[in-house]
């Protein structure tokens, strides 16, 4: 096995707008368990990625905790509900990482900084060059690129987010993104490019 292919592949997912509804008619922000509604095909996408050999992680900015809009207990309850909904469809998340600092606290874990991805990769033996960051915001794409992953922009909103760099792939939903990722793996397309590739 070559050094380039060592390590486990992973898909890092933003939470709101990728897995769960946000700013829809029935939910504005996901601050309580009752606010958790999976987007269509989300559970199927997660299960399919696992079946293809990827670990699946959530990396989410939750500055509402630092701002006092929700507690750590509320956040834990939200994630418990999310995992329960996924489990109903036979899907699961390997680990959830959340940055709970205030938006302008300058911490290295809040996206667009890559801290959450790097920490998960270190602990789980993830090959970042063979992995993907999937998100709907510019901060998600920047975090993935800073960590050295390939990136997928979920373009469920109109166009590319303001200031977002171009992602390798664009999809209309997480399910579509999973199909693209799995097809790319099957076709043997190259991993993320680095200065030394």
Of 111, 105, 169, 102, nearest in space to 140 by CA: 111
Q: Is 14 marked active-site? A: yes
CA dist 155 and 181 (Å) reads: 16
Residues 189 and 168: beta-carbon distance below 8 Å: no
Surface-to-core class of residue 25, CB atoms within 10 Å of its CB (0-12 exposed, 13-18 middle, 19+ buried)? exposed
The residue from 14, 35, 74, 136 that is catalytic is: 14
Q: Which residues are catalytic?
A: 14, 16
């Amino acid at each position: 096995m070559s050094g380039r292919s060592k390590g486990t592949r992973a898909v890092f997912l933003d939470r709101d707008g990728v897995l769960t509804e946000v700013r829809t008619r029935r939910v504005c922000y996901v601050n309580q368990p009752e606010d958790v509604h999976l987007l269509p095909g989300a559970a199927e996408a997660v299960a399919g990625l696992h079946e293809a050999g990827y670990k699946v992680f959530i990396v989410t900015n939750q500055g509402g905790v630092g701002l006092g809009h929700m507690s750590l207990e509320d956040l834990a309850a939200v994630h418990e509900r999310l995992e329960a909904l996924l489990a109903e469809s036979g899907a699961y998340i390997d680990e959830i990482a959340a940055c709970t600092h205030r938006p302008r606290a300058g911490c290295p874990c809040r996206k667009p900084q890559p801290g959450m991805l790097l920490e998960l990769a270190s602990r789980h033996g993830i090959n970042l060059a063979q992995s993907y960051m999937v998100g709907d915001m510019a901060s998600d794409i920047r975090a993935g690129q800073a960590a050295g992953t390939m990136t997928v922009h979920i373009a469920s909103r109109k166009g590319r987010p303001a200031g977002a760099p171009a992602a390798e792939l664009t999809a209309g939903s997480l399910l579509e993104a999973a199909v693209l990722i799995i097809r790319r793996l099957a076709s043997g397309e190259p991993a993320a490019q680095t200065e030394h590739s």
